Structure 1
């Protein structure tokens, strides 16, 4: 396979546009974590929402993720920076209407539904544009370091934002607390405005191509790239197995294992610490054992980390074991996550970055509702522990997929493709040629960050 011979000793932090992207993502993620606490509290405490209305609010928050393929196509068709600025400003505007309506006494649950949908749509657009813009901000050899820093910032921002949200709700009430999220989106928009880099698309769509055709071309492109296709298949399979387990994971800990809410929080905290460490150390791990080994190890640790859960019994000793297992699992999951995302970005033609990322989001997120329904059926037919076991066994499948792919022999980050052929919409015309990585294993030269 063709790889970079020796990467310069620079990190993504050397790129000023990347620093702006990192700052904007940290700001918006922190603010969104505040809203994740404030909006449900507002519905329950101020609007006295019923359990059904709370369920509808949660459903509407997830519904716009079904537009990921559309957002990816728009991201590849238009310049990404204006999309990011517009989505942030739209989110800030929607959030400001909540305290304004509450102040005048006209806030309703329907208003909250509408704001939730707007936030979901802007998040879908923002995520598609931001993740596909990253390869334009850093050098190819800096991709993994960039994703590592973004992963670490995400972990810290989410935790800090959730804690800040709880404090703000207690001090100022839920309606006023969402102003912190509005300010975070304004800051994010300002930082994106300061980014000045040339983009693959100048904002003018070629010809009269429709979005449906762009989406179809993106799906065909992903299906025509063996390594990208295999990694996304592994991600969706792992997501399904984890979602089967996560449906009853907390229930099993709190009931069958008699874990107290305090102990449950400590276990979750250990997992968060492991995730942060994995994000920070991912480039060093990949440099030491190889990029492919890092990705496969992250997938392989996941089913192994479920063994303590399936063997656990009530007691403090098992609680320590569960906290340790979750920390190890999320450490490797995050290290593998930043590595596989960097690999897909490095292999993907810039014209398809948004659609490739959207395809991954669609199949990965789309597996979770189906997995939750499957878990419910399994529990009705069997029991909770057996359902957890089935979810753990399913997580072995993606490991087998990766071991049978060129990822297994990948030592360092491959060079980006020099050219890529757009897959034909119908018969006729050349098919997209395989990237060097997809032709089979060859020697590679290890790199250092």
Structure 2
């Protein structure tokens, strides 16, 4: 038994010189880039090679979104009970195996839409397993003083990796075809698994004061995680902020591309440039989050970011069609919006990780994932219904007003005045496993 205080400290070490953090970051960035390749190639494969209808493409997207809403809580409970690295590797292996069936079936001319939907579900479930463990691994990987900087690096690199993966997916689809383009994502699974396996830091295992049954039920662990989050005002507030933001953005994002390309007559090239500016904004916001939090305080900084976000939607709502000036303005607004999202998101995740005990990290994150993931499909359906009933622009206006909800939630919480990152929870006795 080794107390937590005796673990190696990296508080004075650069994250880039922290080998395990570099391995973690490399593997996760590869995973994000690979997922973007699949998000690009899979719909193309369904439409061009399987003649999928609009409804079938929508169902394919829905199949991929379903596992996080159904399995996030279970994946979080498993990650807190077992080795997080082992769960990450298992998710990578299952995801790679499922995805590998697609290019094989395409080569044999036996690929069907049913198989694609099945692969989307299995791959989504594998990603939930992997992500629940990966997000909660970071607080045990680096010293507490490096958590915010670590999340900053992760958020920035992920934004760049997602954009790079989308462009790579488009290039591979053009060069190799959509089925063989998926080999890029399969390779990313392998890279992620290898990097995770090479992480050497021991994982903390809590030893509880109260007696625990030898074979605890998964449901009991899930309920414990829900009570834990609900019982901490800070965690509950930030979870509600995440969920309400996700719902509003889910409604907006469902119709955003359609509105830009059709109603505002934006060209595909200009659309791609706007998306690229958004990715740069997300990276910039994540990188500057620690400095902004130190200067203005985490609470005021997050509150300001949430207040700016609805304002960034205004150029979209008042823009004129086929106007270069408005296209530039919309691109700048998206840069600012995602910069705010990157700064606020990095900070709130760091706060949640800092105030959560080691044995509850995965379940705490799983509750947030469950609510945010469950909000997106509902928001997408609502956007489709409202867009048909009242029109696209009024629906986008409604989504803009919904962005005020997370602002109100945070403004009504004592977190709005938080001037420094919070203290960790009371130390618990821990042992370590490899």
Question: What is the TM-score when the length of structure 1 is the normalising length?
Answer: 0.86
Aligned length: 414
Q: Displacement, 1:170?
A: 1.8
Alignment of 1:85-234 (within 5 A): 85-201=89-205, 207-234=214-241
Measure, in 2, the Cα distance between the counterparts of 1:280 and 1:47: 42
Measure, in 2, the Cα distance between the counterparts of 1:290 and 1:45: 51
Measure, in 2, the Cα distance between the counterparts of 1:176 and 1:123: 21
The yes-or-no answer on 1:240 pairing with 2:247 is: yes
Measure, in 2, the Cα distance between the counterparts of 1:222 and 1:34: 34
Bigger Cα displacement from structure 2, 137-146 vs 295-304? 295-304
Q: Displacement, 1:69?
A: 0.8
- Structure 1, unmatched stretches of 5+, are 1-6, 422-449
What secondary structure sits across from 1:162 in the alignment?
helix
Q: Displacement, 1:359?
A: 0.7
- Structure 2, unmatched stretches of 5+, are 1-9, 430-434
Aligned to 2:64: 61
2:378 to 355, 358, 370: 370
Aligned to 2:404: 396
1:394-445 C-alpha deviation (Å, 9 max, x unpaired): 2122212212223222222222101489xxxxxxxxxxxxxxxxxxxxxxxx
The yes-or-no answer on 1:309 pairing with 2:309 is: no
Q: 1:169 to 1:132 in 2, by over 3 A?
A: same
The yes-or-no answer on 1:332 pairing with 2:335 is: no
Measure, in 2, the Cα distance between the counterparts of 1:413 and 1:122: 33
Q: Displacement, 1:210?
A: 0.8
The yes-or-no answer on 1:319 pairing with 2:339 is: no
Q: Displacement, 1:183?
A: 1.6
The yes-or-no answer on 1:298 pairing with 2:305 is: yes
1:411 to 415, 419, 422: 419
Is the contact made by 2:297 and 2:418 (CA closer than 8 Å) also made in structure 1?
yes
Q: 1:262 to 1:169 in 2, by over 3 A?
A: closer
Aligned to 1:75: 79
Bigger Cα displacement from structure 2, 130-139 vs 46-55? 46-55
Measure, in 2, the Cα distance between the counterparts of 1:62 and 1:18: 29
Aligned to 1:435: none
Is the contact made by 2:65 and 2:377 (CA closer than 8 Å) also made in structure 1?
no
Measure, in 2, the Cα distance between the counterparts of 1:20 and 1:245: 35
Measure, in 1, the Cα distance between the counterparts of 2:53 and 2:391: 30
Is the contact made by 1:12 and 1:143 (CA closer than 8 Å) also made in structure 2?
no
Q: Displacement, 1:9?
A: 4.8
Question: What is the TM-score when the length of structure 2 is the normalising length?
Answer: 0.89
Measure, in 1, the Cα distance between the counterparts of 2:393 and 2:414: 35
Measure, in 2, the Cα distance between the counterparts of 1:254 and 1:173: 25
Aligned to 2:6: none
The yes-or-no answer on 1:29 pairing with 2:32 is: yes
Is the contact made by 1:88 and 1:185 (CA closer than 8 Å) also made in structure 2?
yes
2:16 to 6, 13, 17: 13
Aligned to 2:3: none
Is the contact made by 1:11 and 1:145 (CA closer than 8 Å) also made in structure 2?
no
Q: Displacement, 1:206?
A: 5.1
Q: 1:14 to 1:413 in 2, by over 3 A?
A: farther
What secondary structure sits across from 1:313 in the alignment?
coil
